[in-house]
Amino acid sequence: AQRVTQPEKLLSVFKGAPVELKCNYSYSGSPELFWYVQYSRQRLQLLLRHISRESIKGFTADLNKGETSFHLKKPFAQEEDSAMYYCALSENYGGATNKLIFGTGTLLAVQP
Amino acid sequence: EADIYQTPRYLVIGTGKKITLECSQTMGHDKMYWYQQDPGMELHLIHYSYGVNSTEKGDLSSESTVSRIRTEHFPLTLESARPSHTSQYLCASSEWGLSKNIQYFGAGTRLSVL
């Protein structure tokens, strides 16, 4: 069955430290992977998607099909990065449904 | 302004009441979704729709029902609310097309059934 695993419920780092939020997935087809973010008192929004291959707010994520991972990285954390981060997988890549399967989320807390 | 709206934001209601959670979008999207999220848990898809008169059940079984009579409107109804329905409900929408596979979320409705 398709599944997205985020092993850390909470990740606490100091400002300026590197950040890596882990995401592993299981999927039999060719997945599309996303990172969504929810800042305090804001709605859930897209941070980045693997097919875009771009850096958003200093974050990058590379799809590693061999390790079935899509870890989110940032070299130097900022306090404004504190938020809840969800990794998500889209079923039926290229198909009609675009249903998302979410992980349980990781709360990133960046300490001053 | 193009957006996706959910009302009410918070709802506290007694057991047995019928409730409807509203979701409307002005983004011109054909696809709409309802997710349920318990505290500290992942979002689970409970309903989705490809367009008008199209509704499908999601991966998580739910006693709620949905309708899609208009493109912009996707309400969720619980005929008889129970404490087990207490949760957060998120509505989302997206366009068709491979390059448009991004979901936009509403602010959510927090439902408490006493």
Q: Where exactly are the structural domains of chain A?
A: 3-111
Mean pLDDT of A79-94: 86
CA distance B55 to chain A (A): 12
Per-residue pLDDT tens for B17-34?
999 999 999 999 999 999
Write out chain B residues lying below 8 Å of A32, CB-based: 101
Per-residue pLDDT tens for A11-57?
999 999 999 999 999 987 778 899 999 999 899 999 998 888 788 89
Write out chain B residues lying below 8 Å of A44, CB-based: 43, 90, 105
Nearest to A108 by CA among A46, A34, A22: A22
User: Residue B76: which domain range?
Assistant: 4-113
Architecture of domain A3-111: Sandwich (2.60)
Q: Determine the Cα–Cα distance for residues B37 and B20; give it in Å rounded to an integer.
A: 17
Q: What percent of chain B has pLDDT over 90?
A: 75
On whether the CB atoms of residues A68 and A42 are closer than 8 A, the answer is no
**Residue A46 to residue B103, Cβ atoms within 8 A:** yes
Nearest to B74 by CA among B31, B112, B28: B31
pLDDT score at B61: 79
* Two tokens, residue A20: 């890596």
Mean pLDDT, all residues of chain B: 92
pLDDT score at A93: 52
Segment (H or E) for A73: strand A72-74
* Two tokens, residue A1: 């069955």
Residue A1 has pLDDT above 80, yes or no: no
**How many domains does the structure of chain B reveal?**
1
CATH code, domain with B14: 2.60.40.10
Write out chain B residues lying below 8 Å of A94, CB-based: 98
Mean pLDDT of A76-84: 97
